[in-house]
Amino acid sequence: MDLLSSADLLQWCKNLEESLERWHELINPNGRVLCLFFIKGTLGKLGSLHLDITSLSWLDARECKHAFKSAGFEIL
């Protein structure tokens, strides 16, 4: 495939690097991934309510970049 896109998905992956490695296997050379997802700090107002609505451990930007690069992606 030439393009893989997702919105509000990656933050729910139990193992982000493993998921991204699989994506990397699926796309053609020179294929693109376009995704939108939440990272630590992007839902500040919700977090300030101190609601235990999820057991999700939010990743920060540095951790997300590392996961993409470890999976073989170039970040543009």
- The pLDDT value given to residue 36: 87
- The pLDDT value given to residue 5: 93
**Taking the alpha carbons of 32, 35, 26, 17 in that order, is the dihedral positive or negative?**
positive
Task: List, for residues 17-73, the tens digit of each pLDDT value.
Answer: 999 999 999 999 999 999 988 888 776 666 666 656 556 677 888 999 999 999 999
* 17 phi, psi to nearest 5 deg: -60, -45
Would you say the pTM of this structure is higher than 0.95? Answer: no
- Residue 12, C-beta contacts closer than 8 angstroms, at least 6 positions apart: 56
- The pLDDT value given to residue 71: 94
- The pLDDT value given to residue 48: 66
